[in-house]
């Protein structure tokens, strides 16, 4: 299911790119090529259609992205973050070896002294 939703997301992204490229912010784009007055869909209707299509595709992209998180493949245990792994890998400070506080006493060995 996750793969199917991912494919839908790519299709919606491609359609959004096409719709945005067709539009022109200054009134050009696809709407400028319809200049005759006796057509069924006028210039204003075309821009309204393209704008509504863009909003619908953007909303569907958001919904598909949120829905894809529900179908993320989880194999067994959830993966821990690197920070959690480092925290759990740290030794307990009280378990570390203690070092002597004073220097060891030197004993004179009578066999080594001349």
Per-residue pLDDT tens digits for 92-104: 666 666 677 777 6
Q: How many angstroms separate the CA atoms of 39 and 82, rounded?
A: 62
| Cα–Cα dist 54/51, whole Å | 5
pLDDT tens, residue by residue, 50-70: 888 999 999 999 999 999 988
pTM of full prediction above 0.85: no
Amino acid 38: pLDDT: 44
**Which band of pLDDT confidence, cut at 50, 70 and 90, is reported for residue 79?**
low
16 close to 58: Cβ distance less than 8 angstroms? yes
Q: Within a 13 Å sphere around the CA of 42, how many CA atoms are in the beta-carbon half?
A: 3
Question: How many alpha carbons lie under 13 Å from residue 52 in its C-beta half-sphere?
Answer: 6
* pLDDT tens-place string over residues 12-50: 999 999 988 887 666 555 555 555 544 555 556 777 888
Higher local confidence (pLDDT), 77 or 75: 75
Q: What is the rounded distance in angstroms from the CA atom of residue 19 to the CA atom of residue 31?
A: 12
User: pLDDT: is 78 or 57 the higher one?
Assistant: 57
Contact 12, 64 (CB under 8 A): yes
- Token digits for 96? 């570390």
């Amino acid at each position: 299911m996750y793969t199917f939703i991912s494919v839908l997301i790519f299709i919606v992204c491609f359609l959004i790119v096409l719709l945005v490229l067709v539009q022109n912010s200054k009134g050009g784009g696809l709407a400028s090529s319809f200049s005759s007055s006796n057509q069924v869909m006028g210039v204003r209707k075309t821009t309204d259609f393209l704008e509504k299509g863009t909003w619908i595709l953007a909303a569907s992209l958001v919904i598909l992205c949120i829905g894809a998180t529900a179908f993320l493949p989880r194999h067994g245990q959830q993966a821990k973050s690197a920070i959690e792994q480092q925290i759990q890998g740290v030794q307990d400070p009280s378990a570390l070896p203690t070092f002597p506080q004073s220097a060891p006493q030197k004993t004179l060995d009578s066999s080594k002294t001349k």
